[in-house]
Amino acid sequence: MHVAPPHLSAVLEQLDRERRSLFPVGVSGQALAQVTRLYGIAGGWHQIAFSALSHGDADRVIVARLGRHGFETGPREAVVVLDGRVRRPWLDAPGPHRVEPVRSRGDLRAFAAAAETIFAADQTPVVRELEARLLEGSSQHVAYIGFSGGAVAAVGRLYTHPESQFGGLYGGGTLEAHRGRGLYRAMVARRALDAVGAGARYLRVDALPTSQPILERLGFEVLTYLWPCVLVE
């Protein structure tokens, strides 16, 4: 669904080009005429990264709508972007919260425990991916943990690619008892700085309705929308 305002149309075109043919580290892909499929090698997940389908040809391409094949559609997410060349005051504003990348298996265990509590879901596929990148010494998929005092209170991840203009901020969340204290913004800021440092021009977040207003207050703009679909087995 293309909704980008005119001043962001070139950004959406760039994102579509990358989603069509640029695969993240640890991921194999298959770029077909109208669909690009991804497979997470370590995590064992599958994903449709890009599609160019319309109401007229969707059934022909995928045989039938996903819902007819056991998929559940999640809440709509807004793909929001921020131009990292524009230095925002909140990026450099000091805060009380420490945010660090995961550097060891011990850090990864702390990340996994917090993420499973925050999202109330099994994090095994994500943790397998992160562990594989950690053992490789890769900086293209990195987990982060945020601290409130000395306790792990927030998590997030960052995807970058040397050929991509986008740094993807994913999996951001805060433990309920620590919400409303600026941790989410601190997590965004640290990952944003690291993304720009890695060469990304734009920051991208697939934002749920709960986080979209926060991100828009930080200057992010809606580029397009997506609907996550999960196969129920």
Are the C-beta atoms of residues 172 and 35 closer than 8 Å to each other?
no
Calpha distance 144→193 (Å, rounded): 13
CA distance 99 to 193: 12
Q: Which of 14-18, 26-30, 106-110 has the lowest mean pLDDT?
A: 26-30
Q: What pLDDT band is residue 231 in, cutting at 50, 70 and 90?
A: low
- Mean pLDDT over 47-57 rounds to 66
pLDDT at res. 5: 84
Distance CA 171, CA 144 (A): 10
User: Phi, psi at residue 104, to the nearest 5°?
Assistant: -145, 170
Gap between the Cα atoms of 218 and 216, Å rounded: 5
For residue 145, give the H/E element and its range. Answer: strand 141-148
Grouping H, G, I as helix, E, B as strand and the rest as coil, residue 26 is coil
- Residues whose CB falls within 8 Å of the CB of residue 202, separated by 6 or more in sequence, listed in order: 11, 81, 82, 83, 84, 165, 166, 167
Residue 150 has phi, psi (to 5 degrees) of -105, 5
- pLDDT reading at 62 higher than 60: no
- Identify the three-state secondary structure at position 10: helix
pLDDT higher than 60, residue 1: no
pLDDT digits (tens, 9 = 90+) for 35-48: 777 777 776 667 77
* pLDDT for the residue numbered 94: 77
Per residue in 170-203, pLDDT tens?
999 999 999 999 999 999 999 999 999 999 999 9
**Cα separations (Å) of 82 from 164, 217, 222, 223?**
15, 11, 9, 10
Nearest CA-CA partner of 127 in 25, 26, 43: 43
Q: What is the pLDDT of residues 103-151, one digit of tens each?
A: 999 999 999 999 999 999 999 999 999 999 999 999 999 999 999 989 9
- How many angstroms separate the CA atoms of 47 and 50, rounded? 9
Residues 197-225 have pLDDT tens digits of 999 999 999 999 989 999 999 999 999 98
- Average pLDDT of span 46-69: 62
Superfamily (CATH H level) for 82-227: Gcn5-related N-acetyltransferase (GNAT) (3.40.630.30)
Place of tokens 């700085």: 193
> Residue ranges per domain, the chain?
6-75, 82-227
What pLDDT is recorded for position 63?
A: 44
Strand bridging mode 202-207 / 166-174? parallel
The C-alpha atoms of residue 146 and residue 190 are separated, in whole angstroms, by 10
The residue among 94 and 162 whose pLDDT is bigger is 162
Report the pLDDT value the prediction gives residue 167, as an integer from 0 to 100.
97
Phi, psi of 81 (to 5 degrees): -135, 155
